[in-house]
Structure 1
Amino acid sequence: MTKAYEVTSWQEFLTLVESESLRGWAFRGQADADWNLESSLTRRLKQFVTNRPWAEQEDRAIRVFRRKAHYFLNDTSVLKDDFRCLALMQHHGAPTRLLDFTKSPYVASYFALHSCTAPAAVWAVNTPALWHEATPPEAPQLTREAIDPRDSNNLHRYFLSNEYPVVWPGEPWSMDRRIVAQAGTFMLPGRIDESVETLLNNYDYDGDILAKIIIPPEIRREAMEALYRMNITHATLFPDLDGLARSISYELEVSWVGTSGPPQKT
């Protein structure tokens, strides 16, 4: 079962994510604590595609992207690498089965709190367990190494087939600057008709494999000011013009005028 935490202060959140119990885990921030842990592809298909096989629609979407993306790329080798191609689609806003995670709980909390108006959530996945011990139900041979999507044909066999109840944590061998800036990683589920929470909670493992930290909106101001002082903003997490432009939304909230310390809400 998912281990649930409810923090009541920013300091309580920091103490929790810096504790030994979550050391080495990967994190994902979501602006609404009620949202399921599922990919943009799953959400899109659930909303608009009810009468066609999802796996076939996903395969078609990847094929269309590959056929047309070369017009916009200086180096088209990325399109020949299955996992890098999927990450490129994710990077530019296409619905994919990838879920963005980060090795930094602070980055995750930024994404959770940036636009939240209700309780937000930071999900945490025990990646050390997925690397070394935890295995999918009734399939101990499907280790992280055995299903590595960076190896030839593994993405199609274990993931795009939509048959295996697995979740693979990791990144492409070649990472783009956004992944680097965000200390990013991915969770890649083998099924898109089940949430990642459901898949992980079915894994065979004696300890905790998934946690959900609920953060109340009342601590958003303090948290966002602390993250601003850490230089965690859209401008640094998305090191391009789009990121800079998105960062302005929080600049509207703070001002250094008349202060000698951290930014104050105007």
Structure 2
Amino acid sequence: MQKILDELSEISAKHPSLWFRGHSSIKYKLNSGLYRISSEKSEVLEHENNIYNSFVNLGAMHIEHFGNNTDKDWNTLFMMQHYGMPTRLLDWTSSFITALYFANLGRKKGEGAVIWALDPIALNNNCHRLYDATDDSGYDTIGYLTLDTLPSRVKKYTNYYNEAIHIKSFALMPRRSNQRLISQNGFFTVQGTDALPLEEEYKNNIGEFLYKIDLPPETYEDSLQYLKVNGVDYYSLFGGIDGLCKHIKDELLSIKFKNI
């Protein structure tokens, strides 16, 4: 682990802010759930439309408290992401150790894993189609984006599939509306319309503001021990009774069902 921590320290020294994302397989790409359905843009837009409208119509009672304000679309999307619906949101965390946990969640001994590191401000400053398709000015001062500062062309989330917008992935700071976002120090990137995973969209910026930190197979045991001594487990990150039960069953007692 020391080599990994040294690499992290070197990267952190270059950036005032970093977000992290852990992958338990070196094969996984920085694709949102929506783009894991298909790489065809037309098919993705059709799914996005159907998924969102189905959720809004069938789950109206769960989102009625959002009212009719301009944030309703995005708050609905955050809820969908929270409960596992495929969206164009990709989860990130400002906590390296949280990303390390997810990099080892489902990872098997003898397999490598990956943690991606991202400077969200630099990402937005390089998203030159964020505000206008032809105007690249002013991109060195964008900083963090929130629901209050979203550009008008994506102020309504449904513009992604109701209008012909062309935009790359950008970083978004959500309102901490649920305990999981708080526990996991959660943030999002919003996947762009090019049907490309983030590391391919910004392939020329890898090593500049996007970094891939490899966790070789030999780091598996050390990673688990590092998480254990720091008190990071399923319950600490997910909370709730379901999180507690899963932690006790799978992590604390490692219960296996043999009499099947």
Q: TM-score, normalised by structure 2?
A: 0.78
Identity %: 25
Question: 2:145 touches 2:173 (CA, 8 Å); kept in 1?
Answer: no
Is 1:140 the counterpart of 2:140 in the alignment? Answer: no
List gaps (5 residues or longer) in structure 1.
Answer: 1-9, 254-266
RMSD in angstroms over aligned alpha carbons?
3.2
Report the 3-state secondary structure (helix = DSSP H, G, I; strand = E; otherwise coil) of the residue aligned with 1:21.
coil
Question: 2:66 touches 2:72 (CA, 8 Å); kept in 1?
Answer: no
Shift of 1:181: 0.5
Is 1:34 the counterpart of 2:27 in the alignment? Answer: yes
Q: Which of 190, 193, 196 is matched with 2:195 structurally?
A: 193
Deviations 1:190-233 (A, max 9, x none): 22621111222367x9x702111110232222211211221211
Is 1:13 the counterpart of 2:15 in the alignment? Answer: no
Shift of 1:234: 0.9
Tell me the amino acid that sits aligned with residue 225 of structure 1. Answer: Q
Is 1:55 the counterpart of 2:56 in the alignment? Answer: no
1:90-239 equivalent positions in 2, closer than 5 A:
90-117=81-108, 118-131=111-124, 133-136=125-128, 140-141=136-137, 143=139, 144=142, 151=150, 153-156=154-157, 159-160=160-161, 161=163, 163-191=165-193, 193-201=195-203, 208-239=208-239
- Go from structure 1 to structure 2 and tell me whether the alpha carbon gap of 1:171 and 1:51 turns closer, same or farther (over 3 Å shift): closer
- Go from structure 1 to structure 2 and tell me whether the alpha carbon gap of 1:168 and 1:235 turns closer, same or farther (over 3 Å shift): same
Q: Distance in 2 between matches of 1:51 and 1:23?
A: 35
- Go from structure 1 to structure 2 and tell me whether the alpha carbon gap of 1:145 and 1:164 turns closer, same or farther (over 3 Å shift): farther
Out of 102-111 and 121-130, give the one that drifted further.
Answer: 121-130
Deviations 1:29-57 (A, max 9, x none): 011011111011111235xxx69642132
Tell me the amino acid that sits aligned with residue 75 of structure 2. Answer: R
Shift of 1:65: 0.5
Shift of 1:165: 3.6
Equivalenced residues, count: 239
Q: Distance in 1 between matches of 2:57 and 2:138?
A: 32
List gaps (5 residues or longer) in structure 2.
Answer: 255-260
Shift of 1:245: 2.6
- Go from structure 1 to structure 2 and tell me whether the alpha carbon gap of 1:148 and 1:12 turns closer, same or farther (over 3 Å shift): same
Q: Which residue is equivalent to 1:262?
A: none
Question: 1:28 touches 1:122 (CA, 8 Å); kept in 2?
Answer: yes
Q: Which residue is equivalent to 1:261?
A: none
Report the 3-state secondary structure (helix = DSSP H, G, I; strand = E; otherwise coil) of the residue aligned with 1:128.
helix
Question: 1:84 touches 1:174 (CA, 8 Å); kept in 2?
Answer: no
1:43-82 equivalent positions in 2, closer than 5 A:
43-46=36-39, 53-72=43-62, 75-77=65-67, 81-82=72-73
- Go from structure 1 to structure 2 and tell me whether the alpha carbon gap of 1:51 and 1:236 turns closer, same or farther (over 3 Å shift): closer
Q: Distance in 1 between matches of 2:159 and 2:127?
A: 14
Question: 1:178 touches 1:237 (CA, 8 Å); kept in 2?
Answer: yes
- Go from structure 1 to structure 2 and tell me whether the alpha carbon gap of 1:142 and 1:177 turns closer, same or farther (over 3 Å shift): farther
Tell me the amino acid that sits aligned with residue 200 of structure 2. Answer: T
Question: 2:128 touches 2:136 (CA, 8 Å); kept in 1?
Answer: yes
Tell me the amino acid that sits aligned with residue 85 of structure 2. Answer: A
Tell me the amino acid that sits aligned with residue 105 of structure 1. Answer: F
Deviations 1:6-32 (A, max 9, x none): xxxx11112222331355211100110
Q: Which residue is equivalent to 2:257?
A: none
Report the 3-state secondary structure (helix = DSSP H, G, I; strand = E; otherwise coil) of the residue aligned with 1:75.
helix
Question: 1:39 touches 1:99 (CA, 8 Å); kept in 2?
Answer: yes
